[in-house]
Amino acid sequence: MFALLKTGKSLLLLVVLIPFLTIVSYVLYVHISKTKVDVFNIVQKYIISEKITLMKNFSDHLLKEHSTKEIYFLRDFKHSKHYENALRLVKSSKAEYIYVLYKDDKNVFRYLYDATEDDEEKAEYNQRFHPQTDIWSQAYLSGKVQIIDQSKLDGLWITIAYPIVLDGKTIAVIGADFTNNIYLSVVDTLSPIEQLSLYISIFMVIMLVLSYILFFMYFKTRKRGFIDPLTKAYNRQYLNTFLETNSLKNYHIMMLDLDHFKQVNDNFGHDIGDVVLKTTVEVIKNNVRSEDVLIRFGGEEFILLVYKKDIKTSITLANRIRDSIKSKSLHVDNNEITMTLSIGINPYPSHAKNIEEAIKIADEQLYIAKAQGRDRIEISDKNQSQTSKRISDVQDAIDNNRIRCAYQPIFDNNTLDLLKYEILIRMEDEDGSIVAPMEFLPYVKHTQVYINLTKFVLDNAMKVLEENTFKISVNIDLQDILNDDIVNLLKERFENKPELAKRLTLEILEHEGISDFKLIKSRLQVLKDLGFLIAIDDFGSGYANFRYLVDLDIDILKIDGSIIKNIDKDKSIHSIVHAIVSFSKSLGIKTVAEQVETKEELDTIIELGIDHTQGYYLGKPSFEFI
């Protein structure tokens, strides 16, 4: 019901106003009908009372004119004209019959006088009268007025039997039939109002029924609009509508993505891809409960809102779905297609600022599951909410053009001429202050926002390369080159522009040790084939070691600023850097000294044979080129 109420004023009209008006119109109709009956009863009473008075007058007049001895005058045909004329005075309108009956010696009722003017209806003197009711006998016996409803007889309404009593004995009965003309005239007067209210009631009922039908159809159509035509799961438009009436507090969010689905489409065609998607939805639906909501979020990605019990239950459900998908095989043209599913779970969606953030957290976990080999389930923790807010801030900055690129120059040590610029990303906060990358980049790692940032930097690099002749360096995480999206992005941007690619150096940062050198090597080769130069960034400060120089085909080695600092004073550092430079030269790798801040440091690194210099001494990062 709450869901219905939220659909607005039209629903209020439908649920409250139209039924209310329908009831009011019906009550009005019943009231008018009752009033009609009341009015009619009053009219009837008045007519009867008036008629009885007239009958009494006639009876009194009759009895006054004649003495007891002359009682048999009544049956004298010679007087009938006279008394029929008198009787007509009692008859007030054509809408009634009035006559006098008597009982003959055999107790048969016969007409004495009949004031009816219509020849067809007028009875003859002494004509037999067939009483249809016993009011005549009762009037005779009791000497009291009798009234009966005659509506069952054709055209009649009521009949009054008024006894003419002489010395306590009934000698005749005056009969008055009111035809239903009187009734109809009263009905005709009141019926238009009654009918109008009846029509209004009927109209309101029809309106009510039509409204409910239309409303039902509207919801049916609306529901159809929320269903993905291919898989019959809900589509993403449904999500916001669903959340209008449901709280995220009651759900865990799962992001589910079919692994390597693109390969299915590429190898077997989109028709088979569609079958895989439909099968996937069937399998998921078979594993969830009716209160869980499955949404096709796009492509091969699904959101499952799991009506929550506890995290363990959701994890069990995720595992069940994952296992079911894995065990489901499709046979196509003698090929067996087996799919796997990566799942990211956000068990605390209500901690997020909004649904988008809650989904991002689940998406981030999905991303991790994918990066760590797929066919996995990853679950976020409570701290993810803070991360989520930061992610949201960064996306907001991208959307509002508050991501900016600073450029720090790198110089050739032989000539001290400008060699290239390193692009350094900066975020402008809403208050205009500049935020350093380490304050926001770690939060967006493994999210779509990170990809968006990378796109922004690459687009910027491309623009700079196109507009200038110098070279450019951009930073890229070692994990990024394992990411298909980022590698594809680089391919997409530079595949057809080798001249620009040659002037772009990818400075690879490393925050975790490399476990699979073979994979990294193959990915680096892909990038080198595109024309990029590969640099190892911050060498000597983290995981990067000499094995990198041996196993990976790199072009440039950037020696970390923490080693360069005080190189002119610290002999041991001097020796280490000397070894790095010698080793690099032997492998044909160029070297760059980072964070050079003094003349002494510059002199020392030139003396050591380092090829290039970057640092505040020669040039700070700036939003403008030198």
Q: Does 116 bind another protein (CB under 8 A)?
A: yes
Contacts of range 350-356, beta carbons closer than 8 Å, 24 or more positions apart: 350/247, 350/248, 350/249, 351/382, 351/384, 351/385, 351/388, 352/248, 352/385, 352/388, 353/388, 353/389, 353/392, 355/239, 355/240, 355/243, 355/248, 356/392
Cβ-based nearer residue to another protein, 114 or 300: 114
Q: Does 94 bind another protein (CB under 8 A)?
A: no
417 Cβ neighbours under 8 A, 6+ residues apart: 411
- From the number of C-beta atoms within 10 Å of its C-beta (0-12, 13-18, 19+), residue 472 rates as buried
- CA angle centred on 34, ends 32 and 39, rounded to 5°: 90
Q: Does 467 bind another protein (CB under 8 A)?
A: no
- CA angle centred on 186, ends 185 and 190, rounded to 5°: 115
* Smallest gap from residue 80 Cβ to another protein (A): 17
Cβ-based nearer residue to another protein, 179 or 392: 179
Q: Does 263 bind another protein (CB under 8 A)?
A: no
The closest of 444, 425, 445, 447 to 436, measured between CA atoms, is: 425
SS3 197: helix
* Smallest gap from residue 215 Cβ to another protein (A): 27
Q: Does 422 bind another protein (CB under 8 A)?
A: no
* Smallest gap from residue 199 Cβ to another protein (A): 8
* Smallest gap from residue 126 Cβ to another protein (A): 10
Interface with another protein in residues 188-227 (CB under 8 A): 195, 199
| 393-405 burial code (b ≥16 CB/10 A, e <16) | bbbebbeeebbeb
Cβ-based nearer residue to another protein, 132 or 329: 132
Taking CB under 8 A as the criterion, the residue among 84, 177, 363, 477 binding another protein is 177
Cβ-based nearer residue to another protein, 154 or 431: 154
Q: Which amino acid is at 426?
A: R
| 597-622 burial code (b ≥16 CB/10 A, e <16) | eeeebbebbbebebbbbbbebbbebe
Cβ-based nearer residue to another protein, 202 or 275: 202
* Smallest gap from residue 179 Cβ to another protein (A): 7
Taking CB under 8 A as the criterion, the residue among 43, 63, 123, 166 binding another protein is 123
Please tell me the count of residues contacting another protein according to CB under 8 A. 20
* Smallest gap from residue 97 Cβ to another protein (A): 5
* Smallest gap from residue 201 Cβ to another protein (A): 14
* Smallest gap from residue 177 Cβ to another protein (A): 6
* Smallest gap from residue 114 Cβ to another protein (A): 9
The closest of 262, 264, 280 to 272, measured between CA atoms, is: 264
- From the number of C-beta atoms within 10 Å of its C-beta (0-12, 13-18, 19+), residue 371 rates as middle
Q: Does 483 bind another protein (CB under 8 A)?
A: no
- CA angle centred on 145, ends 144 and 147, rounded to 5°: 140
Q: Does 512 bind another protein (CB under 8 A)?
A: no
Strands 403-412, 418-428: pairing kind: antiparallel
Per-residue contact flags (x/-) with another protein for residues 141 to 170, judged by CB under 8 A: ---------x--xxxx--------------
Taking CB under 8 A as the criterion, the residue among 9, 130, 224, 571 binding another protein is 130
Cβ-based nearer residue to another protein, 71 or 153: 153
Q: Does 25 bind another protein (CB under 8 A)?
A: no
- 182, 47 Cβ separation under 8 angstroms: yes
Q: Does 125 bind another protein (CB under 8 A)?
A: no
Q: Quick one: angle between helices 355-371 and 448-467, nearest 10?
A: 80
Taking CB under 8 A as the criterion, the residue among 83, 97, 302, 539 binding another protein is 97
Cβ-based nearer residue to another protein, 111 or 443: 111
Span from 116-124, 247-255, 265-273, 426-434 in contact with another protein (CB under 8 A)? 116-124
Q: Does 4 bind another protein (CB under 8 A)?
A: no
Cβ-based nearer residue to another protein, 153 or 190: 153
Q: Does 128 bind another protein (CB under 8 A)?
A: yes
Taking CB under 8 A as the criterion, the residue among 69, 78, 105, 120 binding another protein is 120
Report DSSP letters for 424-487, one per residue.
EEEEE-TTS-EE-GGGTHHHHTTSHHHHHHHHHHHHHHHHHHHH-SSEEEEEEEGGGGG-HHHH
Cβ-based nearer residue to another protein, 71 or 123: 123
How far apart (Å, rounded) are the C-alpha atoms in residues 581 and 605? 10
How far apart (Å, rounded) are the C-alpha atoms in residues 367 and 256? 10
* Smallest gap from residue 13 Cβ to another protein (A): 27
- 335, 268 Cβ separation under 8 angstroms: yes
Both tokens of 397, joined, read 């900055």
Q: Does 529 bind another protein (CB under 8 A)?
A: no
Q: Does 319 bind another protein (CB under 8 A)?
A: no
Cβ-based nearer residue to another protein, 120 or 167: 120
Cβ-based nearer residue to another protein, 10 or 132: 132
Q: Which amino acid is at 422?
A: E
How far apart (Å, rounded) are the C-alpha atoms in residues 301 and 367? 12
Q: Which residues bind another protein (CB under 8 A)?
A: 97, 99, 116, 120-121, 123-124, 127-128, 130, 132, 150, 153-156, 177, 179, 195, 199
